[in-house]
Amino acid sequence: MLNKSIMDGDNPDLTEERMKGAFDTDKMAAVIYGSEKFAIRRREITESISRIPQLADSKPFSFMTREEKISESCRKLSVLSEHWNQLIDTNNEEEALHLYREVLGLEGHAFSLHETMFIPSLVAQANDEQQEKWLGRAKRREIIGCYAQTEMGHGTNLRALETTATYYPSTQEFILHTPTETALKWWPGALGKSSNYAVVVADLVIRDTHYGAHPFMVQLRDEKTHNPLPGITVGDIGPKMAFNGADNGFLGFNQYKLPRDHMLMRHSRVEENGTYTKPPHAKIGYSSMVKVRSRMAMDQGLFMVSALVIAVRYSAVRRQGFLDDKSREVKVLDYQTQQHRLFPSIARAYAFIFCGFETIQLYDQLLIDVKNGDTSGMSDLHALTSGLKSVVTHQTGEGIEQARMACGGHGYSMASYISEIYGVAIGGCTYEGENMVMLLQLARYLVKSVELVKTGKSKELGPMMNYLAEPDTQIDLTSGPEAYVKVFQHAARRQVWKATDKFHQLMESGQSRDIAWNNSAVELTRASRLHTRLYIMETFIRRVSSISDVSIKKVLIDLVNVHVNYEVLDIGTYALEHVSSTQLDSIRSQLYSSLDTLRPNAVSLIDSFQISDMQLRSVLGRRDGHVYTNLFEWAKASPLNQTHVLPSVNQYLKPMMDKAKL
């Protein structure tokens, strides 16, 4: 059996799809998740969870209030606490994240930021003694932490954060203070009600000198009563577009005293007498953000996959309209428009996940290098992850929204759960640096790279930048995916140079650097996007070329073909400089035939992600494909259907109708 999801009693339309798949889904899972070992561990963890009934949702999530969602996730966390060690290797971050996704889903919970930013901040920023004191406690979950940086008035411009941490040598303490309303910390996940500790980012002040944003370990609540400590104002910021299982919070300090050794001092130090030692790299304190950005291609890829699992499975059981055979309606997955809506996103999701593996490894390596005193890789990774987080979050949002529309009316129902996936994923366009701002961070790096080429220093170009120094060449589009890489290189190079030239010309015309930058910003963001999409394409092709299993490689090459054709057409306006409109027509034909080629493997390609029904929380995306019966059951469970006559009918509608009858 090639597709391991085939089960007796499943919807025959889905079974038929799974029989058509030309590759082994377990083998594909090993490729997706980086190793056979981890793919097996994922399945084992999912299987073990299913044997603990208390970890199941106590009722459909979509019918829960915000308070119920928060209470439900806390209940499950307490059940999990009895099983951590038997379920996962607690030192393995990927296993922990898989466990969280399976049991708690994506709407957030008390530990939302604990694993993703609080512990990583301690790992990267705390010195050995501080790690000794707090890291073990955090890992054992004796304390719950979050990452409190953004303020009501400033998120993007970290240099303008208003919260101060003023050091007094006489008492060897910092005083944390919130000088204005806009200085209130605002947004941190799990801050409002759950966390009792936070890594707080504040402006370090010593003897009236401001040293800028630095991280501090701060206790917020009493460990026995969970009440806020004196001098601390903390609470929930209210409901959000999605992610409402998380208590994103506000936080204010009123002259709150903090011992000297609570500043995280791996890289910068304040001595007892107030002497300040600066870090080896000015932006080293930003590392927790780079850590999350380096994960975002993977995490967003998985968000997009969840929506695609739902849309592709549903499209294989939804029958509507006719093609040749007028005796039976077709699966909507057979329509070219449906395939065009979904398959390029499947390709992007695979590509994002392969990029994600690469950037996660790059971050882990950087962490080791920085510990050994080598900060030289920081700029490269900052530039790469800034562009990548911006492109993947935007394209993931587009892909999920198309997946929702591909499910027709039922996609709009919470029964599909796609709107929740969209709401959570789209937050990624904003958190960890607003997308435009991060594209402009990459643009700084691109402009500097062009300046190196212009001044004859091409040898100093960073990784992935050599193409900026290369001349345009003839492109032979029949020579395979590499030709499409060339098209992207041409388009990205041209746009990067064009934007840089514009910026330089504006400065030469007398504009200040900042004004010239602002007046070139749209062109600069375009350059960043093209450069990043080139990186994604190259990584995808490189990863697929490295695969040895013949059947897996074949279907992934089909997927690469969908990707490269779609991507080049999508940047048609830039590509036109290098590709004729006749060539674009031929790319269009190739795209349509590559959709056709991929069609028999569509369900197996998304089954390979092995996302459980528990995690998916979608009636439309059920693995067994029994959509209609369960849709009716789901609707019957609506709180509105627990009584025939609602109180509001008796109170308002009936009297109104009765009055109208008189």
Ligand X SMILES: Cc1cc2nc3c(=O)[nH]c(=O)nc-3n(C[C@H](O)[C@H](O)[C@H](O)COP(=O)(O)OP(=O)(O)OC[C@H]3O[C@@H](n4cnc5c(N)ncnc54)[C@H](O)[C@@H]3O)c2cc1C
Ligand Y SMILES: CCCCCCCC/C=C\CCCCCC(=O)SCCNC(=O)CCNC(=O)[C@H](O)C(C)(C)COP(=O)(O)OP(=O)(O)OC[C@H]1O[C@@H](n2cnc3c(N)ncnc32)[C@H](O)[C@@H]1OP(=O)(O)O
List the one residue from 427, 481, 621, 625 that touches ligand X (CB under 6 A): 427
Residue 403 class from Cβ within 10 Å (0-12 exposed, 13-18 middle, 19+ buried)? buried
Work out whether 627 is an interface residue with ligand Y (CB under 6 A).
no
Asked if residue 257 binds ligand Y (CB under 6 A), the reply is no
Nearer to ligand X, 156 or 473 (CB): 156
- CB-based contact 620:626 (threshold 8 Å): no
Burial of 128 (0-12, 13-18, 19+ CB in 10 A): exposed
User: Which residue bears the tokens 């035939």?
Assistant: 593
178 labeled binding residue: no
Structure tokens, 478: 């029949």
Q: Is 433 in the site for ligand Y (CB under 6 A)?
A: yes
Based on the shown chain and the rule CB under 6 A, indicate whether residue 634 belongs to the binding site for ligand X: no
Min CB(497)–ligand Y separation in Å = 18
Q: Of the residues 151, 432, 538, 567, which is catalytic?
A: 432
Q: Which amino acid is at 241?
A: M
Site string for ligand X, 98-137 (x = CB under 6 A): ---------------x------------------------
Token pair in block for residue 55: 């970890």
Residue 382 binding target from ligand Y, ligand X, none, CB below 5 to 8 Å by type = ligand Y
User: Are the beta carbons of 609 and 602 closer than 8 angstroms?
Assistant: no
> Residue 441 binds which one of ligand Y, ligand X, none, with CB within 5 to 8 A depending on kind?
ligand Y
Minimal CA–CA distance to 413: which of 133, 631, 240? 631
User: 116 near 104, Cβ under 8 Å?
Assistant: no
**What sign does the CA torsion over 368, 369, 370, 372 have?**
positive
Question: What does 289 interact with, of ligand X, ligand Y, none (CB < 5 to 8 A by kind)?
Answer: ligand Y
Shortest CB 82 distance to ligand X, Å: 28
Number of residues forming the site for ligand X (CB under 6 A): 21
Binding of ligand Y by 432 (CB under 6 A): yes
Q: Total residues contacting ligand Y (rule CB under 6 A)?
A: 29
Residue 459 buriedness (CB in 10 A; 0-12 / 13-18 / 19+): exposed
The reply to whether 437 sits near ligand X by the rule CB under 6 A is: yes
Distance (Å, whole) CA 405 – CA 493? 35
- DSSP three-state, residue 215: strand
The answer to whether residue 216 forms part of the interface with ligand X (CB under 6 A) is: no
Quick one: 106 or 555, whose CB is closer to ligand Y? 106
**Binding to ligand Y (CB under 6 A): which residues in 377-396?**
378-379, 382
150 annotated as a binding-site residue: yes
Q: What are phi and psi of 486, to 5 degrees?
A: -60, -40
Map residue 140 onto helix, strand or coil.
Answer: coil
In this structure, the number of other CB atoms found within 10 A of the CB of residue 539 comes to 21
* Residue 27 binds to ligand Y (criterion: CB under 6 A): no
By a kind-dependent CB cut-off of 5 to 8 A, residue 317 interacts, out of ligand X, ligand Y, none, with: none
CB distance 493 to 501 below 8 Å: no
| Residue 157 is a binding residue for ligand Y (CB under 6 A) | yes
- The DSSP output letter for 218 is E
Work out whether 397 is an interface residue with ligand X (CB under 6 A).
no
Could you tell me the smallest distance in angstroms from the CB atom of residue 175 to ligand Y? Answer: 24
432 is catalytic: yes
End-to-end CA distance of the chain: give it in Å, rounded. 70
Q: Is 289 in the site for ligand Y (CB under 6 A)?
A: yes
With CB under 5 to 8 Å by kind, the binding choice for 97 among ligand Y, ligand X, none is ligand Y
* Residues in 238-267 that interact with ligand X by CB under 6 A: 243, 248
Tokens of 650: 């008796």
In whole angstroms, the minimum distance from the beta carbon of 186 to ligand Y comes to: 11
Q: Which does 290 bind (CB under 5 to 8 A by kind): ligand X, ligand Y, none?
A: ligand Y
Contact 274, 169 (CB under 8 A): yes
Contact flag: residue 616 with ligand Y (CB under 6 A): no
CA distance 119 to 299: 18
Q: Which is closer to ligand Y, CB of 330 or CB of 461? A: 461
Contact indicator for 275, 370 with CB cutoff of 8 Å: no
What span, in angstroms and rounded, lies between the C-alpha atoms of 83 and 360? 27
By a kind-dependent CB cut-off of 5 to 8 A, residue 378 interacts, out of ligand Y, ligand X, none, with ligand Y
Q: How far is the CB of 449 from ligand X (least distance, A)?
A: 20
Strand residues in 9-160 grouped as ranges (E): 145-148
Please list every residue from 137 through 166 that binds ligand X, using CB under 6 A: 147-150, 154-156
520 interacts with ligand X by CB under 6 A: no
Please identify which residue in 43, 66, 283, 553 interacts with ligand Y, judged by CB under 6 A: 283
Contact residues for ligand Y (CB under 6 A)?
A: 97, 100-101, 116-117, 147, 149-150, 155-159, 189, 283, 286, 289-290, 292, 299, 378-379, 382, 431-433, 437, 441, 444
Active site residues: 432
